[in-house]
Amino acid sequence: MSAARPALTGTDFVEQRLRGTGTTDWRSWLLEGALLLSLLIALGILIVLVGDTLIKALPIFSERPIEFLTSIVSARPERAGILQAIIGSLTITIIVAVLAIPIGIGAAIYLEEYARDTRMSRFIRTNIRNLAGVPAIVYGLLGLAVFATVLRLGNILLAGGLTLAVLVLPVVVITTSEALSAVPNAIREAAYGVGATRWETIRSHVLPYAAPGIFTGTILSLARAFGETAPLLLVGSIAGTFNFVGPPWEQAFEGYTTLPTMVYHWSGYPQDEFRALSAATIVVLLGVILLVNASAILLRNRYDRKW
């Protein structure tokens, strides 16, 4: 035995172990390489896509950046702009924010802080997760059936907003739930321990602690609503609407268009001019989403620093 294996003690053994056996660990080297390759593939695809879009959009932004943003839809590509789409996307995002954020946060607070952990509440939780995974087009069908047809709203902006609010609601509930469940129980116990009620505990300690997570989650869900296309195509988002007649709140009951809709619309044309319009719209869309995400991060950091 002692001849087959080195002694388990002594400086020789330690030295041998520390210096290694001199052979390369091929398996870990391979694994590391494979992981790096995955990262490069993901990054590479992204760079190619964004780069291609930027190059295609370059003519628009070099020739008429302001006009592009402030003109309305036109059949002549050299005049066409995305003003209606910007207004439509922003309005829809506001509708989503007003509806989905309070309802979603409220539902999450109930689920996490009030509901007892029963089979029913677990069932509901699981299904909210499932809802978040339902394809967006299904929500479009729901919007068409419920908001546009049953509620007789028709193909108007409000119907689109409602549809997207329903779409992001489960996401808001889930992210808020996660932020709330990440609040240490010690905080709750401390508040209850000095005689706070459940609501006082939630308002004064649990919500402020969870706020950064809730902010990020809800802002990111708004970014998702901002970029969503498929459901809106079913509830009336078409290119070239918005008549700008009448006050803004009346626009909510008119036909509408959004940025992703314009991307879809223009990319259907064979001419390069329209392709360029489509690419430029993508750039605007990406820019807004990046801005929204950056503000989410800023908000989170700011709240983190408060403590």
> b vs e for 197-212, b when ≥16 Cβ sit within 10 Å of the residue's Cβ?
eeeebbeebbbebbbb
Confirm or reject binding of residue 189 to another protein (CB under 8 A). Answer: yes
Measured CA to CA in angstroms, residue 245 lies from 153, 248, 289 at distances of 19, 8, 29
Total of residues contacting another protein (CB under 8 A): 22
Least Å from the CB of residue 73 to another protein: 51
x-marked contacts with another protein along 196-235 as a string, rule CB under 8 A:
xx--x---xx--xx--------------------------
Confirm or reject binding of residue 186 to another protein (CB under 8 A). Answer: yes
Tell me which residue of 246, 219, 193, 235 sits closest to 301, measured CA to CA.
219
Least Å from the CB of residue 295 to another protein: 23
Kindly tell me which of 102 and 193 has the beta carbon lying closer to another protein. Answer: 193
Kindly tell me which of 62 and 185 has the beta carbon lying closer to another protein. Answer: 185
Kindly tell me which of 145 and 190 has the beta carbon lying closer to another protein. Answer: 190
Least Å from the CB of residue 174 to another protein: 21
Calpha distance 256→84 (Å, rounded): 8
Burial class (CB in 10 A: 0-12, 13-18, 19+), 261: buried
**Whether the Cβ atoms of residue 168 and residue 96 lie closer than 8 Å to each other:** yes
Of 61, 192, 253, 274, the residue at the interface with another protein (CB under 8 A) is: 192
Amino acid letter at 103? Answer: I
Least Å from the CB of residue 306 to another protein: 9
Calpha distance 188→185 (Å, rounded): 5
End-to-end CA distance of the chain: 61
Of residues 99 through 128, those in contact with another protein by CB under 8 A are 116-117
Confirm or reject binding of residue 184 to another protein (CB under 8 A). Answer: yes
Of 33, 44, 193, 287, the residue at the interface with another protein (CB under 8 A) is: 193
Kindly tell me which of 113 and 254 has the beta carbon lying closer to another protein. Answer: 113
Furthest CA-CA distance within the chain: 96
Confirm or reject binding of residue 194 to another protein (CB under 8 A). Answer: yes
Residue 47 region, left (φ>0) first, then alpha (ψ -120 to 50), else beta? alpha
At residue 257, the 3 state secondary structure works out as coil
Least Å from the CB of residue 193 to another protein: 4
How many C-beta atoms surround the C-beta of residue 123 within 10 A?
10
Kindly tell me which of 64 and 125 has the beta carbon lying closer to another protein. Answer: 125
Kindly tell me which of 56 and 188 has the beta carbon lying closer to another protein. Answer: 188
Confirm or reject binding of residue 187 to another protein (CB under 8 A). Answer: yes
Least Å from the CB of residue 203 to another protein: 10
Residues making contact with another protein (CB under 8 A):
116-117, 184-197, 200, 204-205, 208-209, 307
